[in-house]
Structure 1
Amino acid sequence: MQGPVPIQDTMASDTGPSNTIKLLHLLFLSTSWGMQVWVTFVAGFVMSRHLPRHTFGSIQRELFPYYFHISSTCAFLNLTLFALSHPSERLGEEHTAQIIIFFTCIAASVLNAQWFGPVTSDVVAELQQVESSQGLGQELGLAGSEPRRQLRASNPRYRELARRFALHHALSSLCNLLCIVCNGLSLHHLAAQLSAL
Structure 2
Amino acid sequence: MEGCVPGQDTAPTDTEPSSTIKLLHLVFLSTSWGMQIWVTFVAGFVMGSHLPRHTFGFIQRQLFPYYFHIGSACAFLNLTLFAMYHPSELLSEEQTTQIIVFFICVAASVLNTQWFGRATSDTVADMHLIERSHGLGQEIGLITSKSCKQLRASNPSYRQLSSQFTLYHALSSLCNLCCIICNGLSLYHLAAHLSAL
Q: Normalised by the size of structure 2, how large is the TM-score?
A: 0.91
Gap runs ≥5 in structure 2? 1-12
Q: How many residues align?
A: 185
Shift of 1:89: 1.8
Describe the shift of the 1:153–1:14 C-alpha distance in structure 2 as closer, same or farther (beyond 3 A). Answer: closer
User: 1:57 corresponds to which residue?
Assistant: 57
In structure 1, the residue matched to 2:77 is 77
The separation in 2 between residues aligned to 1:143 and 1:170, in whole angstroms, is 16
Gaps of 5+ in 1: 1-12
Residue 162 (str. 1) matches residue 169 (str. 2): no
Residue 99 of structure 2 is aligned to residue 102 of structure 1: no
Closer, same or farther: CA 87–149 of 1 in aligned 2, 3 Å: same
Aligned-residue CA RMSD (Å): 1.2
- Provide Cα deviations, 1:106-134, integer angstroms capped at 9, x if missing partner: 00000000000111111001000000000
For 1:110 and 1:188, how far apart are their aligned partners in 2? 23
Distance 1:117 1:171 in 2: 9
Work out whether residues 53 and 139 of structure 2, in 8 Å CA contact, stay in contact via their aligned partners in 1: yes
Matches within 5 A, 1:30-41: 30-41=30-41
1:167 deviates by: 0.4
1:42 partner letter: V
2:27 aligns with 27
Q: Which amino acid aligns with 1:85?
A: Y
Please report how far the alpha carbon of residue 14 of structure 1 lies from its aligned counterpart in structure 2 after TM superposition: 5.4
Q: Tell me how far apart the structure 2 counterparts of residues 115 and 142 of structure 1 sit (CA, whole Å).
A: 23
Name the amino acid aligned to 2:175. C
Change (3 A) 1:144 1:138: same
Partner of 2:10: none
How far apart, in 2, do the equivalents of 1:71 and 1:142 lie?
Answer: 25
Give the aligned residue type for 1:117. G
SS at match of 1:158: helix
1:142 Cα offset (Å): 3.5
Q: Counterpart of 1:102 in structure 2: which amino acid?
A: F
Residue pairs, 1:1-197, within 5 angstroms: 16-142=16-142, 145-197=145-197
- How far has the Cα of 1:15 moved from its partner? 5.3
Q: CA separation of 1:93/1:153 partners in 2, compared to 1, >3 Å: closer, same or farther?
A: same
Percent identity reads 74
What SS class does the counterpart of residue 139 from structure 1 fall into? coil
